[in-house]
Chains A and B, each alone.
Chain A
């Protein structure tokens, strides 16, 4: 009886070990097979190779690794606004020269 129980336990253990090894062996295959399908579904359809550059650039700009690209017209407006604000700050300093007014901050989007 004891021999029978031992054989049964050993058989169950062997089956469990085989099941674990089988699952481990087959998990990578299923994962690699399904990954390209997921990526293909996520990528938007595009006709030009440069299409995905914009989101990448925006992401980089958010992270501060690359300056945000804005249209030249918008950039010009920002520069001109910056100059006006800086002139006003300079005039304010000349009216009342102090360290604080010399280094006062403006709301210029070019530097903030």
Chain B
């Protein structure tokens, strides 16, 4: 999939999309290679060009810590939007699930371009909002479902105690 059709650039004329892509630099990742770690400074937004990138969170299991797969990003999909949202720290770990290539778009360069071309900045920001908003809604629903489960478990325990 061409990055011109990246979800981040949806609604932009091809010429504008090409100009934004030209601001970035491509990075090849071997399978398992880490793109960024949780807590790292988020200075760049990424678009997957090829392959797959796994987003994981550390979970404490028994005596150790394991990376648990939260979701994967495919070609055309953006990741690392923490680069656009203060305090600009990644809240997940990203690593290549297979040999992959990503386009890194530095925040400072992107914002400079948006300042010069507000109509482009508006469209991209709207696309980012859609991605962030959808993820927020999914996570909110997942959280509510888990809370419901906790309430049910506690209810069962309370009944068994009384």
Contact = CB atoms under 8 A, between A and B. Distances in A.
Interface residues of A, number: 16
B70 A89 contact: no
Interface stretch (B41-49, B74-82, B119-127, B136-144): B136-144
A86 B68 contact: no
A90 B68 contact: no
Contacts of A76: 61, 66, 68
A31 to B, nearest CB: 38
B70 A90 contact: no
Contacts of A80: 68-69
B141 A72 contact: no
Contacts of B70: 83
A75 B61 contact: yes
Contacts of B64: 72
Interface in A57-112: 72, 75-76, 79-80, 83, 86-87, 89-91, 93-94, 102-103, 111
Contact of B69 (A83, A91, A93, A94): A83
B148 interface: yes
A94 B59 contact: no
What DSSP secondary structure best describes chain A's contact surface?
helix
A90 B59 contact: no
Contacts, number: 41
A75 B59 CA distance: 11
B138 A102 contact: no
A93 B141 contact: yes
Contacts of A103: 145, 148
Contacts of A86: 142, 145-146
B18 interface: no
B142 A90 contact: yes
Interface of A: 72, 75-76, 79-80, 83, 86-87, 89-91, 93-94, 102-103, 111
Given A75-B61, A102-B144, 8 more contacts: A72-B61, A72-B62, A79-B59, A80-B68, A83-B69, A87-B142, A94-B134, A103-B145
15 contacts: A72-B62, A76-B66, A76-B68, A79-B59, A80-B68, A83-B68, A83-B70, A87-B71, A89-B141, A90-B141, A90-B142, A91-B138, A94-B137, A94-B138, A94-B141
| Ranked 5 nearest A-B pairs via Cβ | A90-B141, A90-B138, A80-B69, A90-B142, A86-B142
